[in-house]
Amino acid sequence: MEKISDRLVSWASLLDELTVEQARVSSTMPFIYPHLALMPDAHLGLGATVGSVIPTLGAIIPAAVGVDIGCGMIAVQTQFEASDLPEGRREVREQIERAIPLSAGKYNRKIVATAEPRVAELEALAEAKGFDPARYAGNWREQLGTLGSGNHFIEVSLDEADRVWLFLHSGSRGVGNKIAQHHIKVAQRLAKQWWIELPNPDLAYLVEGSPEFTRYIAELRWAQHFALLNREEMMDRVIRQVSEWVGTPVEERQRINCHHNFTESEEHFGKRVWVSRKGAIQADVGRPGLIPGSMGTASYVVEGLGDTMSLNSSPHGAGREYSRSKARKTFTHEQLREAMVGIEFRDTDAFIDEIPQAYKPIDRVMADAAPLVKVRHTLRQIVNVKGD
């Protein structure tokens, strides 16, 4: 761990100056307590640094949570081993692609049977919180069970003992994005109304006890739950497709579902604070977690070590080194193919910006994270599904 200032600590051995400066500016906000923590995968983000843990007293910065509220990962360990799988993997990739809408703006044509109770649960939760999600996205029900694009993925992987795992990464989709954007604008409007000077407009905040804060927390928690159920719904569909592919029902040995873009009220250093993790997972002692690498590299099932200086947190992935536009100018389709040798994937140049070389080396990130988590399993992907 490196102490950059009294209010900024870091576990990242790979960290550029722009990222450090962005985090330093965020750490100067008067309600940060006790300090902002940068994870090993930290990199420049919109508003706040991706891969940061931001504890606040009596206020929350909506942009510090991010626009994909509740984004995270889910993994299921099956009873299968590599030897149980059919040789042709393209079939299961295409089955998964048919079962789950991929890419931005794609959604289900109807609400399927497995989604019905989850939609009903979300309807009841929204009613209890006193708001209508359709105000943000009229088709939010059809969004449940959809992947999205960017670094979201679905994978079939093998662990160190050749046991089969199913793994996916997604969040609260369009409805969560619109909820986040609305409250970021509310915070910015209030800052102007009260003549609050900010080092960056995206650091606009909501004050605990205000109606705007209360409304944000209610809708934030709904979106976080939507994201969790979205992953559960997709995982159930993946399980069905894998069961059909292998010809045997999947038996779940364990299921892990965790957020990495979220806010929770927690106690740290003797005070109750709001902890916003923007690209970080909760890593209390013994808590299971998931840290995916980039497309074509390893992912990890981990267990938290409860490091107090990190506010019981750990990285959420590899962390970008190249922006999407820079990656597309730097790398080629052929390099992507080379990186994906041995992995069944949809071979298209749409994924060049997701090439492993655009990210920090995941083994370096995990070495930096050694004080924060211990590795339970190391996963290597054999099937990759993404939206373009």
Give catalytic residues, as residue numbers.
316
- Cα 321 to Cα 43: distance, rounded to the nearest angstrom: 7
For strands 59-60 and 206-207, give the pairing.
antiparallel
Is 44 in contact with 19 (CB distance < 8 Å)? yes
Distance (Å, rounded) from C-alpha 300 to C-alpha 358?
19
The Cα–Cα gap between 386 and 143 comes to: 16
Residue 320 DSSP class:
B
Q: Which class for 97: exposed (0-12), middle (13-18), buried (19 or more C-beta within 10 A)?
A: middle
Half-sphere exposure of 58 toward its Cβ, with a 13 Å CA cutoff?
Answer: 3
Residue 182 CB burial class (10 angstroms; 0-12, 13-18, ≥19): middle
Please, what sign has the CA dihedral across residues 14, 295, 66, 258?
negative
CA distance 40 to 89: 34
**8-state DSSP, 82:** G
* Helix, strand, coil in percent for the chain, rounding step 5: 35, 25, 35
Q: Which residues contact 337 (CB under 8 A, 6 or more apart)?
A: 347
| Distant-in-sequence, close-in-space partners of 276: CB < 8 Å, separation ≥ 6 | 48, 53, 54, 55, 56, 60, 61, 64, 65, 262, 263
- Tokens 């970008």 -> residue: 320
Residue 138, classified by CB atoms within 10 Å of its CB into exposed (0-12), middle (13-18) or buried (19+), is exposed
Residue (of 18, 185, 58, 174) closest to 105 by Cα position: 174
Q: Which residue has the tokens 């894998």?
A: 242
Task: Assign 162 to helix, strand or coil.
Answer: coil
Residues 118, 64, 215: CA angle, nearest 5 degrees? 55
